[in-house]
Amino acid sequence: MTEPAPVPPAQPPVVEQMGARLHPLTPFVKGWGYFVVAAFALVNNEGLRSNLEVAGIGLAGVLVGGILLGALSWWFTKWQLTEDAIRVDSGFLFRRTRIIRFDRIQAIDVAQPFVARLFGMAELRMDVAGGGKSDGKLSYFKYAEAGQLRTILLVRAKGEQVAQQQDQEQQNEAPPLLVVPTNRLLGATLLSSTVLGSAGALIWLIVATMVLDFHIGLFAGLPLLLGVVQPIWKQVVGNHGFTLSQTDHGLRTKRGLFDVQRQTIPPGRVQGLLITEPLIWRLLGWSRVELDIAGVAGGQEDGESGNEGAQLLPVGERGEVAAVLARVLPGFNLDAIDLQRAPERAKWLRPIGWRYLAYGADEQVFVTTAGWISRRTSIVLHHKTQSVRLAQGPIQRRLNLANVHIDTPQGPTNAVALHRSAEEAAWLTQAQAHQARQARQAIESTRPDQS
């Protein structure tokens, strides 16, 4: 399978012959962060602070250079709608043309990051199956323009009816199933291992510097401070008012304080789930639920890794987690699954963690658990299985152990039945391959229209 061939030049584009440019303020909105960083760096620099003239010139240089680069990139970025695709040309040194076919677009969202909102601008995020995160982004437009374009694209991609339906949906939101309270978000973040670890190290550093007169330099504190502040910011601001609601097209999440993110989770596109329970959360009965979804492009914060999938529940109590799981996988009950522990000889490879290695399966899903500090429960659907792998290293061979990997499309889940006895693993590999085939056939016979 290759990318769809570029539209031949003979075919006249429908809307724009030459291609249109994005909003002229785009470079500023995209690049404001760099200016702030540059200004901060210049002001903070001891040598430059004493010499304001140089600092001013430096800042001006960065500013002008940045604006120039931004303007160039803006000038050379053009988009146009063709017969069956949206085409984006960009880059002034390395020209790049991206063609996104309408029929490949899974969903289109209009998003407004914080700074863009100040200027009344918005970006268009297109979910493209198999595409990366930044692949389907087009920023920025005037807010109204983005809305119009979204409607046009929706009509082309899915037909008139769907477009109207989705428009209505955007306006009247379904009643929320679940809202995560901010104080729980804050509490959960403060009790997460990253924050606790960083805070502990920071306190030690401060005590060491102040009391023991032990000068390591407070520069070491900066990354630690970041380790405390960044997760809090990300969780509390990014997931502020996390709301889950049910629509006709699946579950819908809404979150964010400044930058409101919306994401729809169509039920058929869930590949797997990951439940994470850090050590302290476990005592409080909290856990986090993340999803693997085919083709998640938009709906994620900038700078997050593409591997992160979709959040279904940033932090929830046991009852909520069970309810959410039941929504995504009807008829599924995690507690009903009989988990098989790894054999005791696995302790040679995992001295403590071996007790927590387990796998289980029912006719719908395959479940694995691992980890004693942070327990991770991966749940993957049989009929989404891409391949099954049986692997064994030299030490495992001596112990007569083997791993079974159930590969699903990229995402946070990692379903590996670690350190099983070799015979069981070999059997499991065949059984899972068989199970995947059966599950797929069952799905196909109930939904003949879906391929």
Partner 1 sequence: MDDLFAPSDVSWTPVSPQLASVRRVSAAITAGVFGIAALLALGMTLGWLYGVLGLVVIAAVFVWSWVLIGRNQRSWKYAEREDELMVSHGILFRELVVVPYGRMQFVDVAAGPLERAFGIATVELHTATPATDAKIPGLHPDEAARLRDRLSALGQAQAWGL
Chain positions contacting partner 1, by CB under 8 A = 1-2, 129-130, 269, 271, 294-295, 383-394, 397, 402, 405, 407-410, 422-423, 425-426, 429-430, 433, 436-437, 440, 450-451
Describe the crossing of helices 160-171 and 143-158 by its angle, rounded to 10 degrees.
Answer: 140
> Considering the complex, what minimum distance in angstroms separates the CB of residue 335 from partner 1?
29
The pairs formed by 248-257 with CB atoms below 8 angstroms and a separation of 24 or more are: 248/165, 248/169, 249/166, 249/169, 251/177, 251/312, 251/327, 251/328, 252/173, 252/174, 253/310, 253/311, 253/312, 254/173, 255/311, 255/314
Q: Which of 31, 33, 30, 58 is nearest to 44 (CA)?
A: 58
Q: Which is nearer to partner 1, 225 or 433 (CB)?
A: 433
Q: Which is nearer to partner 1, 151 or 392 (CB)?
A: 392
Q: Is 232 left (phi over 0), alpha (psi -120 to 50) or beta?
A: alpha
Q: How many angstroms separate the CA atoms of 441 and 431, rounded?
A: 15
HSE-CB at 13 with a 13 A cutoff on CA atoms is: 18
Q: Which is nearer to partner 1, 106 or 377 (CB)?
A: 106
> Considering the complex, what minimum distance in angstroms separates the CB of residue 451 from partner 1?
5
> Considering the complex, what minimum distance in angstroms separates the CB of residue 65 from partner 1?
38
- At 242, list the tokens: 């996390």
CB 129 within 8 A of CB 293: no
Q: Which is nearer to partner 1, 14 or 391 (CB)?
A: 391
> Considering the complex, what minimum distance in angstroms separates the CB of residue 361 from partner 1?
16
Q: How many angstroms separate the CA atoms of 439 and 168, rounded?
A: 35
CB 419 within 8 A of CB 346: yes
How buried is residue 117: exposed, middle or buried, by Cβ count under 10 Å (0-12/13-18/19+)?
middle
- At 50, list the tokens: 């004493």
Q: Which is nearer to partner 1, 188 or 404 (CB)?
A: 404
> Considering the complex, what minimum distance in angstroms separates the CB of residue 105 from partner 1?
15
> Considering the complex, what minimum distance in angstroms separates the CB of residue 104 from partner 1?
12
Q: Which is nearer to partner 1, 252 or 269 (CB)?
A: 269
DSSP characters for 289-307?
EEEEETT--SSS-TTS-GG
> Considering the complex, what minimum distance in angstroms separates the CB of residue 412 from partner 1?
13
Q: Which is nearer to partner 1, 169 or 407 (CB)?
A: 407
Q: Which is nearer to partner 1, 27 or 131 (CB)?
A: 131
> Considering the complex, what minimum distance in angstroms separates the CB of residue 398 from partner 1?
11
CB 129 within 8 A of CB 104: yes
